[in-house]
Structure 1
Amino acid sequence: MKKIIIPIVVVIAAIAVIGFILTNNKKKNQEKTAFIAEGGGAVAVRVANIEKKTVELDFSVNGTFIPKKELNFLSENAGRVKAIYVDEGSRVSKGQVLARIDAEIINTDRETAQATYQNALRDQERYQSSFTTGGVTQQQLDQAKLATQNAKLRLQASERRVSDANIKSPINGIVNKRYIEVGAFVTAQGTQLFEIVDVSKLKLKVSVNESQVANLKVGDKIDIKSSVFPNDNFKGAVTFIAAKADESLSFPVEIEVANNANSSLKAGMYGTAIFNFPKQAPSILIPRTSFVGSVSSNQVFVLDKANNTSKLRDVVSGRILGETVEILDGLKEGESVIISGQINLAEGTPVSIVK
C-alpha cells in the first residue's frame, strides 16, 4: 500500500509546484501590462533630470596589519644546542648571536680540512719545483694544483659550518617564538629554531572595489587609524595594488605603515585606511540603469519634452562610481534621461512619465 501512496504524493506535489510557478508568472505579466497601461497607450517610463554633481572619491576601508618582515629561522647544522641567549619577547639586532650549537665535531672537521689543505700546498710546491727541473709533467702539476684548490674549498666549507654553529639573527626584530631548549638536538635538514618578526614597519592589507582601485597608484600617501589607539595618527604609503581581482571581485592592496617609537601596533590588529583625494570638479552623473543594454553600449534614451517621445543618444562614459556613471560628452544639464522601460523603446517612441 505504501508503494502506491508515495508516487501519488510525489505527483500531487509536482502539480502544486507547477501551478504556483504558472500563477506567479501570470502575476508578473499582469504587472508589466498594468505598468505600460499607465501611459495611456504610450510606453510608461521613468526619467531622471540631468545635472552636474560633485564626485566624492574619498573612502575608508578596514584591514589587518601584518609584519613587513617575518622569518621562521631554521638550523643549517646538525648538533646539540649548547646555549640559548634570547627568549620570547627579546628584541634582537641583525647579526646578534641567538644560540650556539655544540661545535666539537664541526671543529674536528675543520682541523682535518686545514691539515689536508696544508699538505696539498706543500705537494704543489714540490711539484712546481720538480716541474722546473723537468722531474714531473705539466699534467701532474695541474693535478696537484687542482687538489690544492679542492682542499681549499673543503676548508672554506668547514669554516662556514663552524661560523654557523653560532646562530645569528639575519634581521632586526622581536623573538615571537622560541622552538628549542638547551640540550635539544637539531638536524641539518632544517629544525625550526626561532620565529622573528619586525614590527618597526608593518603592512596593512585591505581590499577595494573596481571604482576605488581605479583612483589608486603605488606611492599614494594614506592616513591610517587604529581602533585600539584612536588618538594616534599613523601614516602609510601604497606599496602594492593587485593586477587581478580575487574571487569576491575585490582588488587586494597593501599599505606600508611606519610604527611609532613604542611599537604600539602589533601584527594581527585591525586598522582603517582613509583614502583622501583632491576635490573634484562637478560633472554629469546618471544612473547605471540609464544605458541601453549595459554601460559599454554608450547609448541612452533622452526625453524629447516637446512631444514626449524617446530619442536615442550616443554618449561618452567616464568613471563608474557605484550605481552612477560619469558622462564626459553627449548630455547637457536640464535634459532628462530615461532610466527604466528602455526595452520597449525605439527612436521616436511616444512615452508617458511615471512618477
Structure 2
Amino acid sequence: MKRVIIIIVVIVVALGGIAYVLSNNKKKNEAKTAFIAQGGGAVAVRIATVEKKVVDLDFVANGNFVPKQELNFLSENAGRVSKIYVDEGDHVTKGQVLARVDAEIINTDKETAAANYQNALRDEARYQSSYETGGVTQQQLDQAKLATQNAKLRLQASQRKVSDANIKAPITGIINKRYIEVGAFVNTQGTQLFEIVDVSKLKLRVNVNESQVANLKIGDKIDIKSSVFPTDKFNGKVTFIAAKADETLNFPIEIEVDNNAKTSLKAGMYGTAVFNFPKQAPGILVPRTAFVGSVSSNQVFVLDKANNTSKIRQVIAGRILGDSVEILDGLNEGETVITSGQINLAEGTPVSIVK
C-alpha cells in the first residue's frame, strides 16, 4: 500500500514539474510575440544606416621566431671519437671539420677493398688475353669485367667511409648543442653528434584569419618588431602561406626575417609582424547581421521610409571585415537596412523600429 502511495506522489510531482516548464515556455513565447508585435501589429525590427567608410586593412599578428635552418647531425660510421674541434656556441661554416672518429677499422676495410680491386683488374686482364686466343668464352670475360666493376664500387664506398671519419658541418650556423665527448663510441645507427642552427635568417610564424590572408601574397614586405629590442628595426618577407586553414580556422604563414649584424634575435623569441597596406578607397559597409540567413545569400531587407515597410534587396557582397561586410553593388549610401527580425519579414511587411 505504501509503495502505491509513493508511486502516486512521484507521478503527481512529475506532472507538476512538466506543467511548470510548459507555463514558463508559454510566458517566453508570449514575450517574444509581444516584442514582434510592438507598434500596432507591425513587425519590430532594428535598423542601421548604410555608410561609406575607408576600409582599414592594416593589422598585426604575434608569433615566435624559429631558425631558417636547424639540423640534428647524426653519425654515419661506427667508431670512437678521437678529436673534437668545436664547442657549443661556436660559429661553423659548411664543410668545416667538427670532430674525427677513429678510422682504424675503416682504413682496414679500405685497404682490403683496394687489394680486391687490384686482383680483379689482373683477373680481367688475364681473361681478356685468354679470350683473344680462344681460351675463355665471352660469358667468362663478361663475368670478370663485372667482378672488376663491383670491386671498384666497394673501394669507392670504403673511401667514402674514410672521408666520413672527419665529421664535417653540413650547413653554416652555430653549434647549439654538442652531444659527444672525446672517447665516446658512436655507431652506424645514427648517434646524435651536434645540433646546428642558422640564425643569420629567422622565420617568424604567425596565424591570420580568412579576411586577412586574402590580402597577402608570397614576397610581401613586412615590418617586424621585437619587444626585447624595441629600438631595432627588422625587415621580413612572406615566404609561406598555408593552402589550408588549421583546426582553429586560421592560416599559418611564415615570414623570413633578416637578423641584424649583432645577431640580436634568437630562435624562440616572440615577435610581432606589422602588416601595412596601401590606403583603400571608401566603400559601402553594412553590419553583417543585415543579411538574410548568411552573407552568402546576398540578400538584405531595406526600410521603405515612406510606408514603413520592408523591401527585399539583392546585393553583391565583398570582403567580410570583422562585424561589417563590404557591398560592391545593390545599396547606396544613406539607405537603411534592417538588422534584426528578418525571419518574420517578407516583401512589403509593415515594420516598427525598435530603438
Q: State the alpha-carbon separation in 2 of the partners of residues 251 and 16 from structure 1.
A: 53
Pair 147,335 (structure 1): closer, same or farther in 2 beyond 3 Å:
same
The CA deviation at 1:21 is: 5.5
Amino acid at match of 2:245: A
- Using the size of structure 1 for normalisation, the TM-score is 0.94
Amino acid at match of 2:203: K
* SS, match of residue 182 in structure 2: coil
The CA deviation at 1:38 is: 2.5
* Paired position in structure 2 for 1:44: 44
Pair 268,22 (structure 1): closer, same or farther in 2 beyond 3 Å:
farther
Tell me, yes or no, if structure 1 residue 75 matches structure 2 residue 89: no
* Paired position in structure 2 for 1:192: 192
The CA deviation at 1:25 is: 3.6
Tell me, yes or no, if structure 1 residue 229 matches structure 2 residue 226: no
Pair 20,124 (structure 1): closer, same or farther in 2 beyond 3 Å:
farther
Tell me the number of residue pairs that the alignment of Structure 1 and Structure 2 aligns. 352
* Paired position in structure 2 for 1:341: 341
Q: State the alpha-carbon separation in 2 of the partners of residues 322 and 345 from structure 1.
A: 26
Tell me, yes or no, if structure 1 residue 320 matches structure 2 residue 320: yes
The CA deviation at 1:247 is: 1.0
Q: State the alpha-carbon separation in 2 of the partners of residues 48 and 79 from structure 1.
A: 78
Q: State the alpha-carbon separation in 2 of the partners of residues 162 and 194 from structure 1.
A: 20
* Paired position in structure 2 for 1:141: 141
The CA deviation at 1:220 is: 0.9
Tell me, yes or no, if structure 1 residue 284 matches structure 2 residue 306: no
* SS, match of residue 202 in structure 2: strand
Q: State the alpha-carbon separation in 2 of the partners of residues 13 and 157 from structure 1.
A: 89
Q: State the alpha-carbon separation in 1 of the partners of residues 335 and 97 from structure 2.
A: 75
Deviation readout 1:126-175 (Å, 9 max, x if unpaired): 22122222222211111111111000000000000001111000000011
Amino acid at match of 2:319: R
**Which stretch shows the higher mean deviation, 19-28 or 215-224?**
19-28
* SS, match of residue 177 in structure 1: strand
Pair 132,74 (structure 1): closer, same or farther in 2 beyond 3 Å:
same
The CA deviation at 1:16 is: 9.3
Pair 42,75 (structure 1): closer, same or farther in 2 beyond 3 Å:
same
Tell me which stretches of 4 or more aligned residues in structure 1 moved more than 4 Å: 7-24
| RMSD (Å), alpha carbons | 2.3
The CA deviation at 1:349 is: 0.3
Pair 93,308 (structure 1): closer, same or farther in 2 beyond 3 Å:
same
* Paired position in structure 1 for 2:115: 115
Tell me, yes or no, if structure 1 residue 213 matches structure 2 residue 209: no
Pair 15,129 (structure 1): closer, same or farther in 2 beyond 3 Å:
farther
Deviation readout 1:243-290 (Å, 9 max, x if unpaired): 111111111111111111121111100000000111110010111110
Gaps of 5+ in 1: 1-6
After TM superposition, the structure 1 = structure 2 runs for residues 166-315 of structure 1, keeping only pairs within 5 Å, are 166-315=166-315
* SS, match of residue 196 in structure 2: strand
Q: State the alpha-carbon separation in 2 of the partners of residues 297 and 88 from structure 1.
A: 61
The CA deviation at 1:12 is: 11
Amino acid at match of 2:55: V
* Paired position in structure 2 for 1:163: 163
* SS, match of residue 52 in structure 1: strand
Amino acid at match of 2:66: I
Amino acid at match of 1:157: A
The CA deviation at 1:17 is: 7.9
Q: State the alpha-carbon separation in 2 of the partners of residues 95 and 10 from structure 1.
A: 85
Q: State the alpha-carbon separation in 1 of the partners of residues 99 and 9 from structure 2.
A: 76
Pair 278,114 (structure 1): closer, same or farther in 2 beyond 3 Å:
same
Deviation readout 1:58-86 (Å, 9 max, x if unpaired): 00010010111000000000111111111
Gaps of 5+ in 2: 1-6
Pair 76,17 (structure 1): closer, same or farther in 2 beyond 3 Å:
farther
Pair 10,79 (structure 1): closer, same or farther in 2 beyond 3 Å:
farther
Q: Report % sequence identity.
A: 80
